[in-house]
Structures are given as C-alpha cells and as structure tokens.
C-alpha cells in the first residue's frame, strides 16, 4: 500500500486526487491529510444544500460547498480536521462481499490498534464513536473490484461552524435528537497530539499492509491529473446555492 502524508492540503484538491487514484490506478493507497484551509462544507454525492445547510448563512459568510464523489453525510472541515482515506483492491482485503457494511466493519478492526489507549472506541451504525459520541464520519465509493473509504476525524472543531449544518432528515438512531455539541466529541481530548494520532494510524495499518511512503510530487509524476478518468466532484457556485433556496424564498 502506498502511503501519502499531506499537511494542510486543500480538501477540494484532495477529493480530485482521491477520485483519480480510485478510478485511474490499480494500487492500494492510504492518504493522511492534517487539516485544510479555508473551511469548507462537503456534502455527499446525492446531497441537496437546501435540505442540509443554512444556505443563507453559508452564502453570507462565503463558505465553499463541495459535492464529493462518494456517499455519506455532510461535514464542515477546516484546519482541525484530520482526513484519512483508504483505496483498496478487492483482492487486497478479506471481505465476504464488496458492500458498504462489510467494508465498514473491516475498517473498525483495522483502526482498533490505533485506539488502544482510548476507552470505548467502536463503530456505531456508520460512525466511529467513543461511547456514544461521534468523532469520525465515513463515506465510501465502490467501483468494480476497487473501493474507497474516507474518514473525517474531528481533532477539534469550532462550535459556531456547526450552525451551518441543519439537523438532517435521516439521522443515526443513536443520535437521539441531540444537538451537534452533545453528539460529537474532540479527539484532542483523548490523544497526546495530532502527530501521535496519525502515527498510531500508520502503525495500525502496518499490521495489515506493507506501507511504502511516497511524496505528492512522485504521485503527480506517475499519475498526473491529465490521466483520463471520470470526475464527479464539483463545487457549488453562488448561483447554484441561491437557486437551491429560491423555492423556499418564494414559498415564504
């Protein structure tokens, strides 16, 4: 598995890169990115901003909104988010089926050694939690004999930024209508440092894969962005966001 460590890499560029590595290569990959700037909101491939966001506040504060190529829910990310992405061939892992639930359960066991010092880490529905509080949100993309599983880990977060996110119509059962502040937690309260956390992850992954660290320059030389592939990641324009709430404005 090729390991690419990044620091402050823009999340839009990361999503473009992930989609390229998933669709246009045959290698196994692990990408670890510590933070992104500026803050951005990421919605799943079928996400509708008007149902997921306070669009007026997003427009007023000029927060970028990106539709990623994978499923999953909505997150706001910034310099305090740690991103970990796994891209694997079917024959590189032991799974009964290449479906979302078996992949989720496999990742729980993969990550477990990284949380040996943290009480009550486990997979709950589609989230990584400590007890009943979420700190890791997951999304997946599955194509033929390859899959991608990426996670946004909340190292820290700003409470005011959570106000951009509406309570979704479909929420995990275990949420129990809790507010964002009661539902999520900060990894910084449980880990010595972000660097230590990512080192724990690398050591955990080394128990199942032989990792080969590679630089971004090497990736771009061997897998340039010009390689033909489908690109589903997109940025919502201001006009897109305004249009999304027009029926609400007219109705109001």
Q: Domain holding 231: CATH number?
A: 3.30.930.10
Torsion of the alpha carbons at 183, 189, 190 and 192, rounded to the nearest 10: 150
Any bridge partners for residue 192, and if so which? Answer: none
Q: How many structural domains comprise the chain?
A: 1
Instruction: Kindly report the number of other CB atoms within 10 A of residue 249's CB atom.
Output: 9
pTM for the structure as a whole: 0.94
Q: What is the mean pLDDT of each run of 10 residues along the chain (252 residues)?
A: 97 97 96 96 95 96 97 95 97 93 97 93 96 96 96 96 86 86 93 97 98 96 86 95 76 51
pLDDT score at 223: 87
Q: For the chain, what's the residue count?
A: 252
pLDDT score at 49: 95
Q: How many helices (H) and strands (E) does the chain have?
A: 8, 12
pLDDT score at 181: 82
pLDDT score at 251: 53
What DSSP assignment string belongs to 37-68?
Answer: SS-EEEE-TT--HHHHB-HHHHHHTT--EEE-
Domain that holds residue 98: 2-251
pLDDT score at 23: 95
Phi and psi at residue 58, to the nearest 5°: -65, -45
pLDDT score at 184: 94
pLDDT score at 247: 63
């Amino acid at each position: 598995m090729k390991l690419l460590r990044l620091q402050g890499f823009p999340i839009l560029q990361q999503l473009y890169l992930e989609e390229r590595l998933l669709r246009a290569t045959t290698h196994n990959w692990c990408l670890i990115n510590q933070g992104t700037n500026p803050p951005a909101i990421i919605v799943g491939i079928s996400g509708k901003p008007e149902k997921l966001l306070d669009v007026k506040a997003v427009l007023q504060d000029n927060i970028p909104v990106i539709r990623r190529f994978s499923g999953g829910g909505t997150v706001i990310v910034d310099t305090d988010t740690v991103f970990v992405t796994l891209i694997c061939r079917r024959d590189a892992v032991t799974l009964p089926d290449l479906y979302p639930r078996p992949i989720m359960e496999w990742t729980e066991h993969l990550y477990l050694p990284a949380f040996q010092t943290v009480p009550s880490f486990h997979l709950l529905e589609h989230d990584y939690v400590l007890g009943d509080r979420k700190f890791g949100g997951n999304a997946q993309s599955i194509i033929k004999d390859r899959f991608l599983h990426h996670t946004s880990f909340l190292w820290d977060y700003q409470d005011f930024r959570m106000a951009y996110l509406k309570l979704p119509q479909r929420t995990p059962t275990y949420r129990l209508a809790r507010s964002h502040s009661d539902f999520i937690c900060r990894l910084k309260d449980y880990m010595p440092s972000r660097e230590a956390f990512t080192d724990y992850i690398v050591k955990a992954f080394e128990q199942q894969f032989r990792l080969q660290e590679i630089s971004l320059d090497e990736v771009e030389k061997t897998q340039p962005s010009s390689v033909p592939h489908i690109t589903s990641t997109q940025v919502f324009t201001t006009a897109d966001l305004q249009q999304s709430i027009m029926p609400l404005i007219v109705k109001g």
